[in-house]
Chains A and B, each alone.
Chain A
Amino acid sequence: MARRTRKYADDVPFSITSMMDMMTIILVFMIKNMDAEGQLLTQAENLILPVSTSKVQPTEVSLTVVIDKEYVVVDNEKVVPTPDVLAQEDLCVQPVLTTLYGKRKAEVDQHLRQGLPADEAGSVVVQIDKSIPYDAMYKVMATCGIAGVPSCTSSEGETGYEKMSGYTNVSFAVLEKNGGEE
C-alpha cells in the first residue's frame, strides 16, 4: 500500500504570539525590578558614589539628599548650588534647612496621626559624589542634624514642635565593593 503523505497548507502563518508573551513578561519584570531598587538606583552622570566595603543595606526608604558638583538636591528638588555651599562661611545652609525642616514637620505630623512617638530622630540617606569636597559634605550634614529648628539662627523649635529632632541618623550611600577578601 502506498504510504499516505500528509498535505500541508501552502501558507502557514508564522505565529509570534508566544514570543510576544515572553517579551511582555521580561519587560514587566525588568521595569518592576528597576522600580523595586527605589530611589538609590537613579544615578546621574555627575554623581559617582564611592566604593566601600560596607555591606549594610538600606532598610527603609528614607529622605534622600544628593550632593553633586552642581546642586544640593533634597527629595528630587534642587535646593542650592553646591558652589554656593562651598563659598559660605557658616556651617548651616539655610535653603537646605528650610526644605529639611518642612519635610521633618510633615514626618512628625504623620507620626502623630499614626500614634507613633514624635521625638524620634529622623533618618536621611545622603548620596554624595566621590570627589565632592569634605567642606560641602560637612555643612550639609551639620544642617541635617539641626533640621528640628526652622532657621540657622534659632535654637528653639516652633510651638508644637519643640521636641522635634533633626535628621541625625545619617547614612551615606555607597557602592558595595565586588569580590575581594571575604
Chain B
Amino acid sequence: MAKEIKKPAKPDEPDLLPAMGLFTILIPMLLSMAAFSKLAIVQVNLPERSMINPNDETPPPDEQALNLSLAITSEYLVIGARGGFQPNVYFKEMWTFRCKSDAKLITHAVEDVKAVVESGHGPKCKDGSEMDKEKYLYEIEAIELWAIQKESEEDPGRVIWALYSNGGTPEEPVADSAYVDGNNNFLALPGEGAMGLTPPPALKKPAAGTALATLTPNSARTLKPDVAAKNLIYPLSAYDLIAKDLIAIHTQFIDLEDVDNIIIVANDDTQFDKIIQLMDRSKEAGFSKINLAKLGG
C-alpha cells in the first residue's frame, strides 16, 4: 500500500481577539487622559543672592525715573508712578465654573459662592444641580474682575458693560477683546438695576461696517457681518481698563530709562491667577521687566 504523505499542517494563528479587546480599551482611555491644552511659560528673573543682601543700603530714589507700580487689593487695581497714584479701578470679583453635570458655564459673585458654601451647599448649575462643595474650587474656569463705577468710597457702584468680541461659540459666548472707538474709548456704559447687573439698553451692538479697534496695536478694522452678529455686550474687565492705561503710560514715557520696568504689588491673599493676568497685560503694554512685591510687606 502506498504510504500516505501527510501535508504539513497550517500553523494555527494566535488568538488575537483578547489583545484587540485590551487595545480597544487602552486607546480611548489614553485619548481621554491626554491633555490637549498647550503649555507655555511666563518668565521672571529674581535678583541674585549678592544683590539682595539685607545690609545693603537702599539707593536714593531717582527723581527722573518713572518708578511704575501696579497694585492689586481685594477691591481695586491702582497704578502708581513717581510717588503719585491714578484713580482706583474698582472691581467685583466673579468666578466662572464649568459644571460637570451639564458641561455649561456658570458665573457667580465670590461673596455668593462663599455664602452658599457656608450654608452647606455647592454653587448651583444651570440644570439645577449643585457642584461638589468640597471640590468646587478646582472647577473654577476663570476668575473675572468686573469693573465697577463708583461715585464715592461708600457707593456700592455699578457694573460697567462694554462691547466685546466673541472668543467662544454662538451657543456659549466668551468675552474676548474689548472694542474701542476712534478716540480710544471703550464702547461702554454703566449697567442698570441693583449693582448695575442689567446691561444698559442704550449700549447697542454696532452694525456691520462700523470701524472699531481693540487694545492690540494696529487692530483697527471694519466689522464684517458675521463678526458683528457674534459680538456681545459683557461686563468690562478691570484688567482691560488697566491695560489701556498701561499702554498710554508706556507710550507717553517711552524716552525714560526705566520705561520697560513695572512692579506688580499684591496682597498676601491675592490668587496667583490674578498675578498672571496682570503680568500678561503688563507685557502686552510693553513692560518687559516685571518685578513682584508684597503690599505693605
Interface residue ranges, A against B (CB under 8 Å): 13, 15-17, 19-20, 23-24, 26-27, 30-31, 33-34, 37, 40-41, 43, 45-46, 48-58, 69, 121, 125, 128-135, 137-138, 141-142, 144-146, 148-149, 155, 165-176, 178-181
Minimum CB–CB distance from A131 to chain B (whole Å) comes to 5
Q: Say whether A54 contacts B280, CB under 8 Å.
A: yes
B13-21, B57-65, B84-92, B247-255 - the one binding chain A: B13-21
A135 to B283, CA, bound (A): 22
Complex CA–CA separation, A128 to B273 (angstroms): 9
Q: A52-B276, A135-B268, A135-B269 are in contact. Are A149 and B39 (CB under 8 A)?
A: no
What is the number of residues of chain B that contact chain A, defined by CB distance less than 8 Å? 59
Judge if B202 is at the interface, Cβ distance under 8 Å: no
B194 close to chain A: CB less than 8 A: no
Interfacial chain B residues near A41, Cβ < 8 Å: 35, 39
Interface SS majority for chain B: mixed
Chain B residues positioned under 8 Å from A49 (CB to CB): 39
Segment 269-286 of B: residues with Cβ below 8 Å from A: 269-273, 275-277, 279-280, 283-284
Q: A50-B273, A172-B42 are in contact. List 16 more A-B contacts (CB 8 A).
A: A15-B13, A30-B31, A53-B284, A56-B41, A56-B43, A125-B41, A130-B271, A130-B272, A134-B266, A134-B275, A135-B269, A165-B49, A167-B46, A171-B43, A175-B40, A178-B37
Known: A16-B20, A30-B31, A30-B34. A144 touches B46 (CB 8 A): yes
Given contacts A135-B268, A138-B294, contact A168 B42 (CB under 8 A): no
Among B40, B53, B271, the residue within 8 A (CB) of A132 is B271
CB-based A-B contact count at 8 angstroms? 184
Known: A34-B30, A131-B137, A145-B52. A40 touches B42 (CB 8 A): no
A174 near B138 with CB under 8 A, answer: no
Q: Give chain B interface residues in 199-243, CB to chain A under 8 Å.
A: 214, 216, 219
Whether B20 contacts A23 by the Cβ 8 Å rule is yes
> Which residues on B are within 8 Å of A, measured CB to CB?
13, 16-17, 19-20, 23-24, 26-27, 30-31, 33-35, 37-49, 52-53, 135, 137-138, 140, 142-143, 165, 167, 176-177, 214, 216, 219, 266-273, 275-277, 279-280, 283-284, 292, 294
Question: Please, how many angstroms separate the alpha-carbon atoms of A3 and B19 in the complex?
Answer: 44
Docked-complex contact A45 and B138, CB < 8 angstroms: yes
Given the complex of chains A and B, what is the CA–CA distance between A23 and B292 in angstroms?
A: 50
What residues on A are CB-neighbors of B214 within 8 Å?
A: 181
Query: Which residues of chain B are near A125, meaning CB under 8 Å?
Result: 41
**A172 engages B280 (CB within 8 Å):** no
Which residues on A sit within 8 Å (CB–CB) of B23?
A: 20, 23-24, 27
Q: Which residue of A lies closest to B55 (CB)?
A: A155
The 8 closest A-B pairs by CB, nearest first: A130-B273, A135-B268, A145-B46, A171-B41, A23-B23, A176-B38, A50-B276, A134-B270
Q: How far is the CA of A50 from the CA of B167 in the complex (A)?
A: 17
- How far, in angstroms, from A53 to B280 measured CA to CA in the complex? 6
Give Cα distance in the complex from A171 to B46, angstroms. 10
A173–B39 CB distance below 8 A: yes
In angstroms, Cα B105 to Cα A43, docked, is 22
A20 engages B16 (CB within 8 Å): yes
In Å, the complex CA distance between A138 and B297 comes to 11
Task: Quote the shortest CB–CB distance from B48 to chain A (angstroms).
Answer: 6
On chain A, the residues within 8 Å of B270 by CB distance are 133-134
